[in-house]
């Protein structure tokens, strides 16, 4: 008791003292997301914590301490660098470079036209082909992308949402054409359309048909591609759009629950599809807040899957997740400092128990990364894994008064958002209402204000600035000929393929869209007939229509 | 300012990164401008039509997709065609210095990069319209 009071006194004293230290305006009593914090944490801060109920052992319910009994001792996290630029040939070369330097999984970044289901030769694609990722308009491009890469051994993650069904079909067909059966393919399609409406904005169809395509994908995957993660429920983009850690967690989990409910409603057994749902989170600047966020995420998911959705299989309760360090925290100024930021963020992800990790490159505020920059980013992970010793002990921060208290706090705040979303009639209604979008825009504006008023310090941007700074790192240039090259490839393809077969396959896609038939089968047939991405998406658009976002700020 | 200056904040092309555009739109509104935000996925034609219909004083384009060397010139070309070059075209996003030089030469207003305080954009617009 005496000690506990001591804790309170210390908090009071330090808060007063620190308020006057350094910059008088600087925020020190809140996490970067605005959760109140104290100068010191004591046993009373976690007096309600029950080890077996709230933490458990790693690999045991509620999985707060990790989803596997042995964690990184049994299997290190997958080092997976998100990459793609120019043509499929350019990116194929980069993949081989990364694999040769110890990367253990692939992750495809597509260009904007591909993300929107548009072909490279569509007029709206002008100027954007191969710029922010690799241009993939057909099965032929996909075959080039993975040429010489062992698809039976390596796992591939693809950041694709609106047209996920079509791009996934290209991948499956590319593997099958090389004699690799779909049941041994491993990987992930992001396929998380709800967060597209909320944050990333690469949608095609309205919510209702989009949700139907997703349940078709879940069903198809469970039958034919059983080792594939059919949705990667993503908080990453929500955070990048400016959300707080709690909003990232709450909106992402609420999206996850919505997919589970859609699957159940479509008549699927929860234990058939839930084990193939995975998550994708951001790792931002506030070190302990991020670690607490991952721990809270695992506990909430396990509890809700067990109690609310009545999942029986242990695999259905496990929140497996990929992490990417926060691109939005990188600075254009003194870009070399980004190496250090990324290292801290990568470390937080590992201490939080991530299953795979992407570490950003220092030059990514300027362009897609150069080979040199991406190699340093990969080496950063290898340093964490092999030199720091942090992977040797499982969930090493458990029991910390601060970490456990922050984990509880984040969990509590997330449930407040779940309540609000329920009151609005669920996540789809909340999105149509603009609720999460508004919350995120508000948070982004608050953060910007805090930076401009120097209540938050960004090294090299609003403090510790260099006079007349000169950027001295190399910047990757995308070859100007990419667009023309893609145009030529597509026009050649349209000439040499069997166009009768293509037209028939597109009719079948349209027919499936109009009926309740699982749309993945005709899409796969269309992919195999070398129908282009744009053609297949247009066939679906004729039935499903397109989504329009009401502009707001 | 006697009459409130009207600014169109626009997102051309397929780029979905709208955090910056929205933050700038709010900051301009808070600074006393009248702000119209186009929303996402606008073609240059849509942007110029909206600018003329809304009778704006300036268009701010936000581009983070690397398509700036296509989209800025296209919007400018259409403004010229519509004889609406009294509308200031400025912008922000990830635009390398060498590209900036080319765009400035063609008559495009200031281009703001990552890390710019919104107050700098406000100051620029106030100054521009006072001295004109």
Among A202, A281, A191, CA closest to A228: A191
Please tell me the distance from the alpha carbon of residue A517 to that of residue A509, in angstroms, as a whole number.
Answer: 10
Q: What percent of chain A has pLDDT over 90?
A: 91
CB contact under 8 A, A112 and B26: no
- What confidence score (pLDDT) does residue A6 get? 59
Binding-face residues of B in 23-62 toward A, CB within 8 A:
23, 25-27, 29, 35, 37-40, 43
> Structure tokens of A128?
């954007």
* B1, part of any domain: no
CB contacts of A115 in chain B (<8 Å) are: 14, 16
Domain residues for the domain of B31 are: 6-131
CB contact under 8 A, A475 and B27: no
- CATH classification at residue B123: 3.40.50.280
Of B40, B43, B114, the CB nearest to A124: B43
CB contact under 8 A, A118 and B14: yes
Write the pLDDT tens digit of every residue in A218-236: 999 999 999 999 999 999 9
Please tell me the distance from the alpha carbon of residue A20 to that of residue B125, in angstroms, as a whole number.
Answer: 36
Residue A252 near residue A199 (C-beta atoms within 8 A)? no
Whether A51 has its CB under 8 Å from any CB of chain B: the answer is no
Strand partners, B88: B58
CB contacts of A241 in chain B (<8 Å) are: 18-19
Strand partners, B42: B12
Biggest alpha carbon–alpha carbon distance for chain B: 38
- What confidence score (pLDDT) does residue B132 get? 47
- What confidence score (pLDDT) does residue A21 get? 54
Interface with chain A: mutation pick from B8, B18, B61, B103, highest number of A CBs within 10 Å:
B18
Q: Is residue A130 classed exposed, middle or buried when 0-12, 13-18 and 19+ CB atoms within 10 A define those classes? A: buried
- What confidence score (pLDDT) does residue A458 get? 97
ipTM value of the model? 0.92
Residue A445 near residue B26 (C-beta atoms within 8 A)? yes
> What are φ and ψ of residue B88, in 5° steps?
-75, 130
Average pLDDT over residues B47-59: 98
> Structure tokens of A352?
């939080």
Strand partners, A459: A463
Please tell me the distance from the alpha carbon of residue A406 to that of residue A291, in angstroms, as a whole number.
Answer: 9
Instruction: Choose the CATH number for A51-452 among 3.20.20.240, 3.40.50.300, 2.70.98.20, 3.10.110.10.
Output: 3.20.20.240
Please tell me the distance from the alpha carbon of residue A277 to that of residue A380, in angstroms, as a whole number.
Answer: 28
Average pLDDT over residues A8-32: 71
> What are φ and ψ of residue A363, in 5° steps?
-95, 10
Residue B7 near residue A521 (C-beta atoms within 8 A)? no
Binding-face residues of A in 491-550 toward B, CB within 8 A:
549-550
CB contact under 8 A, B115 and A458: yes
What is the number of CB-based contacts under 8 A between chain A and chain B? 100
Measured CA to CA in angstroms, residue A365 lies from A202, A473, A481, A485, B109 at distances of: 20, 12, 23, 27, 22
- What confidence score (pLDDT) does residue A16 get? 60
A24 pLDDT band (50/70/90 cuts)? low
Report DSSP state, residue A162: T
Report DSSP state, residue A539: H
Please tell me the distance from the alpha carbon of residue B129 to that of residue A3, in angstroms, as a whole number.
Answer: 63
- What confidence score (pLDDT) does residue A1 get? 43
Name every residue whose Cβ is closer than 8 Å to that of residue A52 and which is 6 or more positions away in sequence. none
Go through A454-487 and write b for each residue having 16 or more CB atoms within 10 A of its CB, e for each that does not: ebbbbebbbeeeeeeeeeeeeebebeeebbebbb
Write the pLDDT tens digit of every residue in A438-492: 999 999 999 999 999 999 999 999 999 999 898 889 989 888 899 999 999 999 9
Please tell me the distance from the alpha carbon of residue A277 to that of residue A546, in angstroms, as a whole number.
Answer: 26
Whether A551 has its CB under 8 Å from any CB of chain B: the answer is yes
Strand partners, A358: A324
Nearest residue on chain A to B69, judged by CA atoms? A127
- What confidence score (pLDDT) does residue A2 get? 46
Is the bond leading into A439 cis (omega within 30 degrees of zero)? no
- What confidence score (pLDDT) does residue B28 get? 97
- What confidence score (pLDDT) does residue A25 get? 83
Average pLDDT over residues A523-537: 98
pLDDT over threshold 60, residue A20? no
Write the pLDDT tens digit of every residue in B5-39: 999 999 999 999 999 999 999 999 999 999 999 99
Nearest residue on chain B to A437, judged by CA atoms? B19
Residue A502 near residue A526 (C-beta atoms within 8 A)? yes
Among A155, A114, A115, CA closest to A137: A114
Write the pLDDT tens digit of every residue in A299-357: 999 999 999 999 999 999 999 999 999 999 999 999 999 999 999 999 999 999 999 99
Residue A445 near residue A281 (C-beta atoms within 8 A)? no
Kind and range of the H or E run holding A543: helix A533-544
Residue A334 near residue A460 (C-beta atoms within 8 A)? yes
Write the pLDDT tens digit of every residue in A71-120: 999 999 999 999 999 999 999 999 999 999 999 899 999 999 999 999 99
Helix, strand, coil percentages, rounded to 5, for chain B: 45, 20, 35
CB contacts of B17 in chain A (<8 Å) are: 201
* B72, part of any domain: yes
Report DSSP state, residue A107: E
- What confidence score (pLDDT) does residue A471 get? 87
Helices (H), A318-434: 337-351, 371-386, 401-423, 427-432
Whether B115 has its CB under 8 Å from any CB of chain A: the answer is yes
Write the pLDDT tens digit of every residue in A56-84: 999 999 999 999 999 999 999 999 999 99
Domain count, chain B: 1
pLDDT over threshold 80, residue A8? no
pLDDT over threshold 90, residue A17? no
Please tell me the distance from the alpha carbon of residue B82 to that of residue B48, in angstroms, as a whole number.
Answer: 8
Q: What is the DSSP string of A353-383?
A: T-SEEE---TTTTTSSPPHHHHHHHHHHHHH
pLDDT over threshold 60, residue B60? yes
- What confidence score (pLDDT) does residue A523 get? 98
CB contact under 8 A, A332 and B115: yes
pLDDT over threshold 50, residue A536? yes
Other CB atoms closer than 10 Å to residue A35's CB: what's the count?
A: 18
- What confidence score (pLDDT) does residue A320 get? 97
Residue B38 near residue B71 (C-beta atoms within 8 A)? no
> What are φ and ψ of residue B71, in 5° steps?
-80, -40
CB contacts of B96 in chain A (<8 Å) are: 366-367, 475
Write the pLDDT tens digit of every residue in A130-185: 999 999 999 999 999 999 999 999 999 999 999 999 999 999 999 999 999 999 99
């Amino acid at each position: 008791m005496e000690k506990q009071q001591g804790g309170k006194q210390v908090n009071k004293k330090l808060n007063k003292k620190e308020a006057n230290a350094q910059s008088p305006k600087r925020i020190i009593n809140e996490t970067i997301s605005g959760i109140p914090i104290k100068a010191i944490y004591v046993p009373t801060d976690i007096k309600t914590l029950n080890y077996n109920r709230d933490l458990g052992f790693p690999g045991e319910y509620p999985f707060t301490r990790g989803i596997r009994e042995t964690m990184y001792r049994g299997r290190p996290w997958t080092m997976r660098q998100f990459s793609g630029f120019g043509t499929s040939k350019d990116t194929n070369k980069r993949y081989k470079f990364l694999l040769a330097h110890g990367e253990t999984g692939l992750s495809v970044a597509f260009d904007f036209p591909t993300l929107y289901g548009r072909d490279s030769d569509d007029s709206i694609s002008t100027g954007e082909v191969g710029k922010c990722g690799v241009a993939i308009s057909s099965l032929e491009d996909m075959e080039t992308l993975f040429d010489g890469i062992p698809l039976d051994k390596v796992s591939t993650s693809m950041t694709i949402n609106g047209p996920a069904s079509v791009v996934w079909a290209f991948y499956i067909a590319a593997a099958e054409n090389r004699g690799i059966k779909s049941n041994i393919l491993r990987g992930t399609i992001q396929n998380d359309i709800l967060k597209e409406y909320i944050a990333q904005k690469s949608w095609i169809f309205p919510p209702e048909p989009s949700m139907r395509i997703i349940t078709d994908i879940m069903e198809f995957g469970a039958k034919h591609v059983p080792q594939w993660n059919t949705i990667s429920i993503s908080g990453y983009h929500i955070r990048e759009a400016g959300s707080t850690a709690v909003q990232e967690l709450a909106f992402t989990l609420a999206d996850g629950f919505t997919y589970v409910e859609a699957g159940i409603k479509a008549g699927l057994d929860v234990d058939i599809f839930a084990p193939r749902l995975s998550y994708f989170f951001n790792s931002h600047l506030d070190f302990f807040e991020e670690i607490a966020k991952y721990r809270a995420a695992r506990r909430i998911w396990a509890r809700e899957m067990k109690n609310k959705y009545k999942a029986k299989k242990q695999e259905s309760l496990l929140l497996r997740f990929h992490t990417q360090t926060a691109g939005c925290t990188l600075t254009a100024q003194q870009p070399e400092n980004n190496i250090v930021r990324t290292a801290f963020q990568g470390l937080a992800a590992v201490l939080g128990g991530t299953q795979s990790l992407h570490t950003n490159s220092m030059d990514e505020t300027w362009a897609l990364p150069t080979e040199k920059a991406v190699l340093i980013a990969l080496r950063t992970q290898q340093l964490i894994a092999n030199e720091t010793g942090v992977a040797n002990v499982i969930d090493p921060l458990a029991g910390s008064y601060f970490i456990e208290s922050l984990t509880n706090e984040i969990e509590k705040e997330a449930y407040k958002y779940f309540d609000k979303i329920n009151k609005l009639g669920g996540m789809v209604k909340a999105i149509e209402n603009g609720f999460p979008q508004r919350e995120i825009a508000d948070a982004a504006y608050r953060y910007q204000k805090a930076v401009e008023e120097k209540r938050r310090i960004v090294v090299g941007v609003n403090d510790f600035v260099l006079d007349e700074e000169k950027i001295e790192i190399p910047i990757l240039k995308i070859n100007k000929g990419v667009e023309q090259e893609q145009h030529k490839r597509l026009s050649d393809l349209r000439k040499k393929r069997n166009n009768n077969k293509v037209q028939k396959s597109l009719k079948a896609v349209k027919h499936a869209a109009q009926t309740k038939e699982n749309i993945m089968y005709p899409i796969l047939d269309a992919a195999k007939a070398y129908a282009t991405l744009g053609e297949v998406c247009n066939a679906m658009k004729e039935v499903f229509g397109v989504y329009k976002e009401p502009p707001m700020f | 300012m006697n009459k409130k200056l009207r600014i169109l904040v626009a997102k051309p092309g397929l780029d979905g990164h709208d955090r910056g555009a929205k933050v700038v739109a709010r900051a301009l509104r808070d600074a006393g401008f009248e702000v119209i935000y186009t929303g996402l996925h606008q073609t240059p034609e849509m942007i110029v039509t909206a600018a003329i219909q809304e009778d704006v004083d300036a268009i701010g384009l936000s581009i983070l997709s690397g398509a700036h060397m296509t989209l800025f010139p296209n919007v400018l070309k259409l403004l010229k065609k519509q004889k609406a070059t009294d509308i200031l075209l400025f912008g922000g996003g990830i635009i390398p210095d060498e590209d900036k030089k080319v765009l400035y030469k063609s008559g495009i207003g200031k281009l703001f990069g990552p890390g710019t305080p919104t107050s700098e954009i406000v100051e620029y617009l106030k100054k521009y319209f006072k001295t004109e």
